[in-house]
Structure 1
């Protein structure tokens, strides 16, 4: 915990709810304790802000390393916020870094905490729900933690690509019933099993979000 944690959850969360009047559905689906993998669709940069502020429990997210290395006032504020909510930096496209990040996720879950992940790998720029990367399945089968499917709507209107400052727009966060893959613990090394589990998670997210489904992966953004 950092010194900013009480500010993030005690001040920013109520302020965000006051300004944006978000709709939160299925809150009762969130397990009150124990390890949980929160798997969400990904529409905007602000998703990693909205989810921790609206989820009843603290959520630890992976965040691209650039959020921790920015310069100037904006860079310092961004770094301070993502550090405060417990985000784990990961450099996109670096397989070794991604593996280290998943190892860090296992540690978070072993501590009985909630870990958030975007199976699509990056935000959707066309509004469709893209094919999920199988890291989420490996994490679920390895840790035996339940997967909580989550769907966001409206966050892409708060901070569209190219806009510097957020707008006030309606936001909906919907939690679905947890998915249990503990019985597949011994299959984590199987590519086929990881794909099956990932596809099941993506179906659950898609049912919550109502997004059009894409058949392929979303390409990583060009840096």
Structure 2
């Protein structure tokens, strides 16, 4: 009930009025049955716009820290994620990735829509990065079609680190559903899972028009924040 009020009465109409969504291909999202929305990830606001634009309920998983914030900001964030069906996942342990996939599999087996960011984290510079094969395992295990979703300018609307978004028209593109049922018997084959993931990322690259980089975004972020080793002077 609270989800319906937030999406259709409170937050949804306000955001549509302010950001005047330019959405194309929304009819590619099936009206019923399990569906995977595979989105590029440019901004925190991706998890706000995508569920509000799709007529059906979209469930993402998010790190548990989003649900434990303090003060008014923490409360508002928690209420938003809870009301939009976002599920908290503890990402600190080694089994966190499997836990996230199991959560999304339950969503799909219930005939609903699961949202996933194949890159695994926000892009550090706006480019599209190598997808992790979790999205392929999700597709092969569930048999659900994958609809690629390209968010074109959310990094301009709410850059990383910015709390207040810019009021600017948001642009989103939905691609045609991708059917990977022909690979159902190859679940667990890492070469097939990589091929499926790469096909999804190619569609995202085409839809978004963003440059593709064949490395993991998380690896680049680690390299950026890692301290530069200092050299000890050597006396000749």
Q: Distance in 1 between matches of 2:63 and 2:152?
A: 22
Q: What's the offset of the Cα at 1:15?
A: 1.3
Q: Distance in 1 between matches of 2:71 and 2:146?
A: 37
Q: Which stretch has the larger CA shift, 35-44 or 65-74?
A: 65-74
Alignment match, 1:77: 76
> Secondary structure of 2:95's partner?
helix
- Relative to the length of structure 1, the TM-score reads 0.95
Deviations 1:50-98 (A, max 9, x none): 1001112110001121111111111011011101111121234533122
Q: What's the offset of the Cα at 1:111?
A: 0.5
> Secondary structure of 2:185's partner?
helix
Deviations 1:13-58 (A, max 9, x none): 1111111111000111110000000001000001000100111211
Deviations 1:150-201 (A, max 9, x none): 1001111222122222221221111000000112112111111110000001
Alignment match, 1:5: 3
* 2:168 is the counterpart of 1:144: no
Q: Distance in 1 between matches of 2:94 and 2:172?
A: 31
Taking a change above 3 Å as real, the CA distance of residues 153 and 93 of structure 1, as seen in their structure-2 partners, is: farther
Query: How many residues are treated as equivalent by the alignment?
Result: 221
Structure ID, larger Rg: 2
Alignment match, 1:22: 21
Q: Which stretch has the larger CA shift, 138-147 or 4-13?
A: 4-13
Alignment match, 1:173: 172
| Structure 1 segment 206-217 matched on structure 2, within 5 A | 206-217=205-216
Alignment match, 1:63: 62
Q: Distance in 2 between matches of 1:47 and 1:182?
A: 28
**RMSD (CA atoms):** 1.5
Alignment match, 2:234: none
Unaligned runs of 5+ in 1: none
Alignment match, 1:37: 36
Runs of 4+ in structure 1 deviating by more than 4 angstroms, as ranges, are: 220-223
